[in-house]
Structure 1
Amino acid sequence: MNNEAILREFLDYTQFVRGCRPKTADAYAIDMKVWQTFCRNDYPQMDNPSKAKMVVDYIRYLRVDRKNGSSAVQRKLATLSAFIDYLILMEIITPKQDERKKWPKLLDTPERLPVVLENKEIQQILTQPDTTTILGRRDRAILTLIYSVGLRVSEICSLQLRNVHWEEKRILIQGKGGRERYVPLDSIVEDVIKDYLTSRTSTISELFVSKKGGALTSRAIQFMVKKYAARAGIDKKVTPHKLRHTCATHLCKKALI
């Protein structure tokens, strides 16, 4: 079933009948070229691409010869499955010939574990801002909010002065889709914010002010986190999202203790 004409017709079908986006159609074409190469070398007379034995050998080829990870293998099998659906639709093979139920199950495991910083690394980052300056105190407060409370960069940028409820010991956060939630204002977060506010002179409503006097941007915070991680000598790729993930991981560990 490695017929060039049938493969071209399948690719046309995905784009012009199913209405797949050009990028999806291109991905199908790339995957089918890989499958063609495999068949040409190992199964030149293949007449039923759903054969379980062939699929087992195909997976081995993808993992061993091409060094493909789990997600790439899953995608190529999904493309092959779509091709089999097309063959059945066009009555090139029959539903009774379909052996996909016999295909091996792939373990759905992440190919890369997310970066989680150790407590020591977090402390190294938090001590990098120069707290003798207003910008340093601002940056320390932002880093503490990201790690201790798990705020998103967009939430930090839009955080208003009026959203900090000192007496109630909580902060009102405007989240995605306009959804609101409260996060705790613990003593550590309270101290670093108050320390920053003692030298803040801007009149804008946003809590955190840029060097030029306006509201901070997401890019500025991303650059700031990267800068302090580099100063701390941390080799891992550190982003605000990684700090949030570290926050969640450390909270889960505390809950289990």
Structure 2
Amino acid sequence: MLADEALSLFAGYQYSQNRSEHTVTAYQTDLGQFFRFAAQELGQEPETLEADQIDVYIVRSFLGILTDHGLSRKSMARKLAALRSLFKFLCRKEVLAVNPVQRIASPKVGRKLPHFLYLDQVEGLLKASDCTQLLGARDQVIMELLYGSGLRVSELVGLNRESLDLDSGLLRVLGKGNKERVVPLTDYARRAIESYLKMRSDDKEALLLNYQGTRLSDRSVRRILDKLVTKVSLEQHVHPHMLRHSFATHLLDGGADLRSVQELLGHQKLSSTQIYTHLTRERLKNVYAKAHPRAKGAENS
């Protein structure tokens, strides 16, 4: 199979697994860069390259070139993750008999603590939409679901009317890997949704529509959030996932147990959720260092 055909097949698989447009595009960019390098190494045109021509030595050469060009470990790990996913998929489909990246170790990358918003910052954003207007009412729903239910932006834009059970206050969400989970709706979110739907005069299945009446995109959600951030004069950059981080952090601060937060977030591994315990501990240490009289005692002795 030609490398280009393998890329197209893999992209189709990613879409079937509910991967976002942003994720699929990023993978295709990294993999396209690799295959162009491989073709050059083999002395042929990229469009003639076959997927089974790739071996472990070409992969190692590619990583070596990236290192020579000063690429960060994080970026290298991302590109290697894309290669792992592709070749694992091709082996599973029996396009390849051998996985050329199976024995290549990933570079160690220090895990950064996620950024989150403080409660007063979130409350400012939650009050920023003009709910008397259709698009403002929609924006309010976006904010209430990102923060109140901890949704990923891809999960948010994929919601349909039938995803809602307003009487029970529950929401069915299609998450990563096409896995469904049920999350609670806050009373604020439920009222915002009811108000928004009453203002709509259509019967389209998508919960969130743009001004043209078609399903809202994840990019549009980012633009809407940018507009609200500007409106409340927040100085820091805020992205939709930061509201999910804030959701998890505020739950743990409020005494929620880790397993419950894991289930609400839809994390497969508990280790993915444990990063938020590190975040809350670090925040508590900073609060202590600033506020407790004994924390600075050594400076005055």
Report the TM-score, using the length of structure 1 for normalisation. 0.60
Q: Residues 9-28 of structure 1 correspond to what in structure 2 (within 5 A)? A: 18-20=57-59, 23-28=62-67
TM-aligned CA deviation for residue 185 of structure 1: 2.1
Q: CA deviation at 1:219?
A: 0.5
Relative to structure 1, is the Cα distance of residues 137 and 21 closer, same or farther in structure 2, using a 3 angstrom cutoff?
A: farther
Matched, 1:244 2:244: yes
- 2:233 matched to 1:233? yes
Aligned to 2:32: none
Structure 1 counterpart SS, 2:59: coil
Query: Which residues of 2 match residues 21-170 of structure 1 at below 5 A?
Result: 23-30=62-69, 110=111, 113-170=113-170
Residue 215 of structure 1 deviates from its aligned partner by 0.6
2:211 is aligned to 211
SS of match in other structure, 1:124: helix
Q: Which moved more, 1:164-173 or 1:242-251?
A: 164-173
Distance in 1 between residues matched to 2:131 and 2:67, nearest whole Å: 54
Q: CA deviation at 1:157?
A: 1.0
Q: Give 1 or 2 for the bigger CA radius of gyration.
A: 1
After superposition, give the CA deviation of every residue in 1:75-128 in whole Å (9 maximum; x if it has no partner).
9xxxxxxxxxxxxxxxxxxxxxxxxxxxxxxx9754x54321111100111111
Tell me how far apart the structure 2 counterparts of residues 159 and 17 of structure 1 sit (CA, whole Å). Answer: 42
Residue identity in the other structure for 1:247: F
d(CA) in 1 for partners of 2:213 and 2:172? Answer: 23
Query: Which residue pairs with 2:267 in the alignment?
Result: none
Q: Which position in structure 2 is the counterpart of 1:221?
A: 221
The aligned residue for residue 199 of structure 1 is 199
Structure 2 gaps of 5+ residues are: 1-40, 42-53, 78-107, 258-301
What is the match of residue 173 of structure 1?
173
Secondary structure of the residue aligned to 1:116 is: coil
Task: Note the aligned Cα RMSD (angstroms).
Answer: 2.9
Whether the 8 Å CA contact 1:169–1:185 is kept in 2: the answer is: yes
Q: In the TM superposition, what is the alpha-carbon distance from 1:22 to its structure 2 partner?
A: 5.9
Shift of 1:20: 1.6
- Partner of 1:130, secondary structure, is coil
Distance 1:256 1:169, change over 3 A: closer
Give aligned pairs, total.
174
Return the TM-score normalized by structure 2. 0.52
Write the distance in 1 (CA, Å) between the matches of 2:110 and 2:56: 34
Mapped to 1, the partners of 2:168 and 2:221 lie a distance apart of 27
